[in-house]
Structure 1
Amino acid sequence: MVNSTVTKIHYDIVGSFLRPDELKKAREKFNNKEITAKELQVIEDNLIRELVEKEKESGLKIVTDGEFRRSYWHLDTFWGFEGIEHVIPSHGYLFHDEETRADSARVIGKIKFGTDHPDLRAYKFLKELVENDNGIIARQSIPAPAQFYSELVRDEENTKSLRQFYQTDDELIADIGKAYRELILALYDEGCRDIKLDDCTWGMVVDNHYWATRASEGLDRQAIQKTYLAVNNAALVNLPDDLRISTHVCRGNYHSTWAASGGYAPVADYLFAKEDVAAFYLEFDDNRSGDFAPLAKVPAGKDVVLGLVTSKHPALESPESLIARVNEAAQYVTLEHLQLSTQCGFASTEEGNKLTQEQQWAKIKLVVDTAKQIWK
């Protein structure tokens, strides 16, 4: 089922914000056992309160907690499921000109959702900050189920551990789908009506150079798309009609660098045409993203959030160029179903991109102001 919201908002964010220095220092102290988990939580709570007020002051109608409680945009969620352990592989993810920290998630038992999941606790606090604000939506972003699947088969060690508990992908997809669906419904029961699935899997599939390497390893590009689609949609069956589910497709966002390049054409027939979401948040901030033509595969009535304003670099795009590009995209998706956003979050990991706090908010202002010019 495809879900939608009642109110149409034409400007948006992806969700993560630069971590304040106070938070970075507190997390370092916690890791060094200089403060307790409770003391760290108090600092997180205070900084999230300040962030949400800033988001509202900036004119945003959809707010997040900035992902201030996470180290990564994806791994913290994975570690929150039963049957998963936090491991340190020999290498991190290899980006264009940098290697990330080395962390991963590995299967050590059957995958299950537990009611103490950290994303559920995080949303409860965020909801309390806006429950008396009419017209403000508290969003919870979680990594897509396909991203979870991809992590669990990331390398030989992860795959070997996985196969001790799941002999077939069908079994694995069923349990991932069930665990995710239970997390989504638990968030819904707490009042969440807007959930975004962040997903780099499709962003890697579009990269022809990357995929040539994977093909040489015996993987089939069409087959993996079918798997990603199956695992994502397995989590999205029979959801409430008033729950908006969207997805953000990313080509990597770490310390202002990137992991993949390529337009959306190779994945349009699966991702755009068949994934059971109401909206697609898509990167279009530079030439690595390709043109807008694949948007013709987006079904009528679904929204496309154009990530035209980069979150990687401080230079501000001109409003005129943004308006022109939105109008260009409107050849494929009606203006009513387009929105404007940054291309990604400002801190997909706690390192953050190479911008200042002031430059970050200037980007948000540009998005809001330009959208108001387009959708008067």
Structure 2
Amino acid sequence: MSTLKLRPPFRVEHVGSLVRPKELYDQRVLLEQGKCAREDLFAAEDAAVAHVVKVQRDLGLGTITDGEMRREVFFEGVFDKLEGMTFIPQRPMTEFKSYIPHVKLQSAMGLTEFPSWHCSGKIKRTVPFYIDHFNALKAVVPPEDVGRIKVNMCPPTWIHQRHGSDWTYDPAVYKSDDEYFDDLGIAYRAEIKELYELGCRNIQFDDPTFAYFCNDDMISGMEAAGVDHEALLDTYIRAINVCTVDRPQDLNIGLHMCRGNYMGGVHFSEGGYQRIAVKLFNSVDVDTFYLEYDNERSGDFSPLKHLPLNKVAVLGIVTTKSPKLEEAEALKARIHEAADIVAAGVPRRSKEAALNQLCISPQCGFASVWQGNPVTEEDQKAKLQLLLGVAKEIWK
């Protein structure tokens, strides 16, 4: 495990995705309608990346992303590039786990099939995930800010959480989850190594899997299906850890636990972190936890008492799902409440030390899919400026 990597004098980040500028949005609409080719988006994507970089730098955010301007959806760019993964455009819903919150919703909507992947061969990273994206982003960021670039990627658990051990991989290829995740770990480590060598110092896994374990309905569904959810939680913790093992000391890796952020900002899951906090904070080998705390379905701050001394928690206390602007005084009170809980945790620490382990952010991305949430770019800026103003008063 790493020691605490103190944050720079920036206390505010955004989670990753940003609202697409109109030109790119309109071009995406044409692509969806079959009126243009994928290549026709490249110029609009380049312009959009340059635009959102300027927005982030002008605001003074702690990290800089490309806003996922080159993606249709947040998880694009990993499993679709791995050798050994076969895309199935119409996979039967009977091969998805019905207790997974978003699968349950899809089934309730009457869907009988949905696109997904199946592991039909040994997993290998024969092409990079985001190297081209990183290089393009690096080209529009001043050299002194390259260390602030953050690359977001879906977690190794993404396909397995949908399909489980029986439908994720061919048993003739992998005999166990550990074998499957070991090869995935090799692929992820190769990507992380190459990104690091190019200057990347911040990587974030965007993961809805762990937050799902906070959902009482999913736990009940797993128990009814005979699934050992504690053992599966351990498997997923191990899956992250085989990706992050032996990383360089100055590489910050974060884990964002998402409760769902689909078109229109739809959420899929709810429940506080109490059920998983001890294992999560003490066993997952990452440096930073991005925690959604924008409403009552997120639970209270009490699980933060388990935050170790060598971890940072980024509190997602502003919602991306609504343009309504939160009250600054209420946000400051919540930060102090969280810091008091961290300070009184195990082991105890000073309030100053506890605050040093906290940052703030919106609860999720503003556009995890290209269509985005019901917010405009101006709404997005206002929310980020609100967080920046609050941070200046808390961390003077």
1:112 matched residue in structure 2 = 124
User: In 2 relative to 1, CA 163–8 (structure 1 residues): closer, same or farther, beyond 3 Å?
Assistant: farther
Structure 1 position 349, deviation (Å): 1.2
**Count of paired positions:** 372
For residues 20-68 of structure 1, give each alpha carbon's deviation from its aligned partner in whole angstroms, at most 9, with x where no partner exists.
Answer: 2322332343455644443322221111111111111122131111111
Structure 1 position 134, deviation (Å): 4.4
The answer to whether residue 281 in structure 2 is matched with residue 272 in structure 1 is yes
Select 2:160's aligned residue among 149, 152, 172.
149
For residues 253-291 of structure 1, give each alpha carbon's deviation from its aligned partner in whole angstroms, at most 9, with x where no partner exists.
Answer: 112111111110111122111111111110011111111
User: Partner amino acid for 2:218?
Assistant: Y
2:294 matched residue in structure 1 = 285
1:329 matched residue in structure 2 = 338
User: In 2 relative to 1, CA 98–184 (structure 1 residues): closer, same or farther, beyond 3 Å?
Assistant: farther
Structure 1 position 196, deviation (Å): 0.8
Superposition RMSD in Å: 2.3
Query: Aligned ranges for residues 33-44 of structure 1 at < 5 Å?
Result: 34-44=35-45
Select 2:254's aligned residue among 246, 257, 263.
246
The answer to whether residue 265 in structure 2 is matched with residue 256 in structure 1 is yes
User: In 2 relative to 1, CA 339–95 (structure 1 residues): closer, same or farther, beyond 3 Å?
Assistant: farther
Structure 1 position 75, deviation (Å): 3.9
User: In 2 relative to 1, CA 33–314 (structure 1 residues): closer, same or farther, beyond 3 Å?
Assistant: closer
Structure 1 position 311, deviation (Å): 0.6
Partners of 1:169 and 1:135 lie apart in 2 by: 36
For residues 74-113 of structure 1, give each alpha carbon's deviation from its aligned partner in whole angstroms, at most 9, with x where no partner exists.
Answer: 1432212221233233567455997999432221321111
Partners of 1:180 and 1:171 lie apart in 2 by: 14
Q: Which moved more, 1:17-26 or 1:353-362?
A: 17-26
Partners of 1:99 and 1:68 lie apart in 2 by: 31
User: In 2 relative to 1, CA 242–283 (structure 1 residues): closer, same or farther, beyond 3 Å?
Assistant: same
User: In 2 relative to 1, CA 358–136 (structure 1 residues): closer, same or farther, beyond 3 Å?
Assistant: farther
- Kindly indicate whether the alpha-carbon contact (under 8 Å) linking 2:205 and 2:254 is maintained by their aligned counterparts in 1: yes
The answer to whether residue 370 in structure 2 is matched with residue 350 in structure 1 is yes
The alignment's TM-score, normalised by the length of structure 1, stands at: 0.92
Partners of 1:117 and 1:279 lie apart in 2 by: 24
User: In 2 relative to 1, CA 84–302 (structure 1 residues): closer, same or farther, beyond 3 Å?
Assistant: same
Select 1:364's aligned residue among 384, 388, 392.
384
Query: Aligned ranges for residues 166-181 of structure 1 at < 5 Å?
Result: 166-181=174-189
Unaligned runs of 5+ in 1: none
Query: Aligned ranges for residues 279-318 of structure 1 at < 5 Å?
Result: 279-318=288-327
Partners of 2:110 and 2:133 lie apart in 1 by: 29
User: Partner amino acid for 2:132?
Assistant: R
Task: State the secondary structure of the residue aligned to 1:225.
Answer: helix
Partners of 1:66 and 1:30 lie apart in 2 by: 19
Structure 1 position 178, deviation (Å): 0.9
User: In 2 relative to 1, CA 132–223 (structure 1 residues): closer, same or farther, beyond 3 Å?
Assistant: same
Task: State the secondary structure of the residue aligned to 1:203.
Answer: helix
Query: Aligned ranges for residues 57-72 of structure 1 at < 5 Å?
Result: 57-72=58-73
- Kindly indicate whether the alpha-carbon contact (under 8 Å) linking 2:204 and 2:253 is maintained by their aligned counterparts in 1: yes
1:198 matched residue in structure 2 = 206
1:80 matched residue in structure 2 = 81
For residues 141-192 of structure 1, give each alpha carbon's deviation from its aligned partner in whole angstroms, at most 9, with x where no partner exists.
Answer: 11122234324x2597x43x53342121121011111111111111111110
Partners of 1:228 and 1:155 lie apart in 2 by: 12
The alignment's TM-score, normalised by the length of structure 2, stands at: 0.87
Query: Aligned ranges for residues 117-132 of structure 1 at < 5 Å?
Result: 117-132=128-143
User: In 2 relative to 1, CA 122–95 (structure 1 residues): closer, same or farther, beyond 3 Å?
Assistant: farther
For residues 178-211 of structure 1, give each alpha carbon's deviation from its aligned partner in whole angstroms, at most 9, with x where no partner exists.
Answer: 1111111111111100101111111101001121
Task: State the secondary structure of the residue aligned to 1:241.
Answer: coil
Q: Which moved more, 1:238-247 or 1:133-142?
A: 133-142
Structure 1 position 70, deviation (Å): 1.1
Q: Which moved more, 1:20-29 or 1:183-192?
A: 20-29
Task: State the secondary structure of the residue aligned to 1:315.
Answer: coil
Partners of 2:117 and 2:47 lie apart in 1 by: 29
Partners of 2:59 and 2:104 lie apart in 1 by: 35
The answer to whether residue 238 in structure 2 is matched with residue 218 in structure 1 is no
2:2 matched residue in structure 1 = 2
User: In 2 relative to 1, CA 99–196 (structure 1 residues): closer, same or farther, beyond 3 Å?
Assistant: farther
- Kindly indicate whether the alpha-carbon contact (under 8 Å) linking 2:265 and 2:321 is maintained by their aligned counterparts in 1: yes
User: In 2 relative to 1, CA 126–173 (structure 1 residues): closer, same or farther, beyond 3 Å?
Assistant: same
1:339 matched residue in structure 2 = 359
User: Partner amino acid for 2:377?
Assistant: Q
User: In 2 relative to 1, CA 167–124 (structure 1 residues): closer, same or farther, beyond 3 Å?
Assistant: same
User: In 2 relative to 1, CA 282–166 (structure 1 residues): closer, same or farther, beyond 3 Å?
Assistant: same
Task: State the secondary structure of the residue aligned to 1:312.
Answer: coil
Partners of 1:130 and 1:345 lie apart in 2 by: 21
